Amino acid sequence: MIFVNMKRVILLCLISVSLLSCSSDNDCFIVDQVEQLRVIQIEKKDYFVYLKITGWHDKIVFYELYDQEPVFNQCGISETLPVSTMNVNPDLDPEKEKVSGLIINSRSKEMTVIYSKDDSQDEYLQLLENVSIEIVRIQF
């Protein structure tokens, strides 16, 4: 009798665990923080500049440029691929050096992050969000 009850308990536990482990496609372990910074025009076409912060403990920060407005799921992931992505230097010491600008090449859509020594007391995230964006035309 005790053996039969133990079997039922074990079976019930296994079923519970298997049901709990089932998940939908939108479940995510780490949610990316995504923020649209600006809509800019390059050669009469709208482009969308986003700031994305990903990672659990060690955050990775980068800018993304899209040629169409992306839609992000609850995990911060979009099916729309960025035209260009540029990482912010992960070794950046925000106490000594800060992101001061973002340059976008109008032809290749490549981005370059500009750093400067900055003694301002602005929060690191605020500086990332308020970055100045310049579009340059490179002639070949």
Asked if residue 23 is part of any domain, the answer here is no
Check residue 103 and report its DSSP letter.
E
Radius of gyration of the chain from its Cα atoms, rounded to whole angstroms? 23
Asked if residue 10 is part of any domain, the answer here is no
pTM above 0.85, yes or no: no
Asked if residue 56 is part of any domain, the answer here is yes
Q: What is the pLDDT of residue 25?
A: 56
Q: What is the pLDDT of residue 91?
A: 75
The whole-angstrom separation of Cα 52 and Cα 75 is 12
Q: Which of 104-113 are b and which e, b meaning 16 or more Cβ less than 10 Å from the residue's Cβ? A: beeeebebeb
Are 47 and 66 in contact, with CB atoms under 8 Å apart?
A: yes
Residue range(s) defining the domain that contains residue 44: 33-136
Over residues 59-80, the pLDDT tens digits come to 889 999 999 999 999 999 999 9
Asked if residue 2 is part of any domain, the answer here is no
Q: What is the pLDDT of residue 132?
A: 86
Domain count for the chain, please give it.
1
Q: Please report which helix (H) or strand (E) contains residue 125, including its range.
A: helix 124-129
Tens digit of pLDDT at every position of the chain (140 positions)? 565 566 676 756 555 554 444 445 557 888 889 999 999 999 999 999 999 998 887 788 999 999 999 999 999 999 999 999 999 877 777 677 788 889 999 999 999 998 888 666 667 777 788 888 888 876 55
Asked if residue 52 is part of any domain, the answer here is yes
Asked if residue 65 is part of any domain, the answer here is yes
The whole-angstrom separation of Cα 106 and Cα 82 is 15
Asked if residue 5 is part of any domain, the answer here is no
Q: What is the pLDDT of residue 97?
A: 79
